[in-house]
Amino acid sequence: MLEVRNLHVFYGGIHALQGVSLSVPEGAVVTLLGANGAGKTTTLRAIMGLVRPREGTITLNGVSLIGKRPYEIVRLGLSMAPEGRRIFPDLTVLENLLLGAYARTDHDGIARDLSFVFSLFPRLKERERQRGGTLSGGEQQMLAVARALMAAPKILLLDEPSLGLAPVLITEMYRAFARLKEEGRTILLVEQNARAALSLADHGYVLETGRIVAEGPAAELRESDLVRKAYLGV
């Protein structure tokens, strides 16, 4: 269980997060929705230890993550597919994936997870020896997700995995997420694509200019006026 309470983050004078609270229970898929600049990425970056909150708490199963360095947080069981994919262009697909498992020493487990992510994204298997930079945008996103899975995280953080993808690829991506959910994996999914996210998630939060303005079970959020108007365009 990941718990974020009353999180405040500043960039210089900009008050980017103004008291964000959310929780991700074990086995659940939770989505965090919001428009451009709402603070979604900042929330994930604070959880991963990439920005330091001025106030608030972040705990994973009761252990505080505040002040921990990113590699320590990965070792505690979180991993993230960052915004913009951020794959290593000069490394091969396989090397990217193995880097995802950097903190692990269980070679059997790594081999098992490698064949798992290849079954999840067969295109990656075909391109195993290719440099990451030669992949298409969709394939790079698959690689980013697969690489995060290679850490065998307790909770997987995804930052706008559908951004910039063709509809058919978004469908493919979400099919993979559905499979992860079936397996009982815990996911915190950041999206602007509310339709896709809410159809997958159990629970959702809506973030606007640094504050949570709505939350609830995904089915309820989908019916709420706020979400229908602002995010589903109906």
Partner 1 sequence: MATYLQQLLNGVTLGSLYALIAIGYTMVYGILRLINFAHGDVFMWAGYWVFFLVVLFHLPWWMAALCAVALTALMGVAIERVAYRPLREAPRISLLITAIGVSFLLENLIIVLPWAGGRQKPYPTPAFMTQIYQAGNVRIQGVTIWVPLIAAACLLGLIFLVYRTKVGRAMRAIATDTETTALMGADINRVISYTFLVGSALAAVGGILWGCRYPRLQWDLGIMPGWRAFTAAVIGGIGNIVGAMLGGFLLGLAEILIVAFLPGLSGFRDALIFAILIFFLLFRPTGLLGKPLKEKV
Ligand X SMILES: Nc1ncnc2c1ncn2[C@@H]1O[C@H](COP(=O)(O)OP(=O)(O)OP(=O)(O)O)[C@@H](O)[C@H]1O
**Span of 11-19, 55-63, 175-183, 195-203 interacting with ligand X by CB under 6 A:** 11-19
Contacting residues toward partner 1, per CB under 8 A: 48, 50, 69-71, 74-75, 79-80, 82, 86, 88-91, 95, 98-104, 147, 151
**Residue 11 binds to ligand X (criterion: CB under 6 A):** yes
Is residue 38 near ligand X by the rule CB under 6 A?
Answer: yes
Strand stretches in 168-224, DSSP E:
186-191, 203-208, 211-217
Report which of 84, 85, 76 is spatially closest to residue 49, judged by C-alpha positions. Answer: 76
Which does residue 79 bind out of ligand X, partner 1, Mg ion, none, counting CB within 5 to 8 angstroms by kind?
Answer: partner 1
Residue listed under structure tokens 């290593």: 88
The candidate with the shortest Cα–Cα distance to 31, out of 193, 140, 148, is 193
Q: Is 208 in the site for Mg ion (CB under 5 A)?
A: no
Applying CB under 5 A, among 41, 141, 162, 193 the residue interacting with Mg ion is: 41
Which residue type does 104 have?
A: R
* From partner 1, Mg ion, ligand X, none, interface partner of 204 (C-beta below 5 to 8 A by class): none
Q: Is 49 in the site for ligand X (CB under 6 A)?
A: no
Pairing of strands 29-34, 203-208: parallel
Do residues 84 and 91 touch, judged by C-beta distance below 8 A? Answer: no
Q: Does 202 engage in binding with Mg ion (CB under 5 A)?
A: no
Stretch that binds Mg ion, among 70-78, 79-87, 139-147, 207-215 (CB under 5 A): 79-87
Q: What is the C-alpha to C-alpha distance for residues 28 and 81, in angstroms, rounded to an integer?
A: 18
Sign of CA dihedral 211, 213, 217, 221: negative
* Residue owning tokens 């913009």: 84
Chain positions contacting Mg ion, by CB under 5 A: 40-41, 83
Interface contacts to ligand X, rule CB under 6 A: 11, 14, 16, 34, 36-42, 83, 192
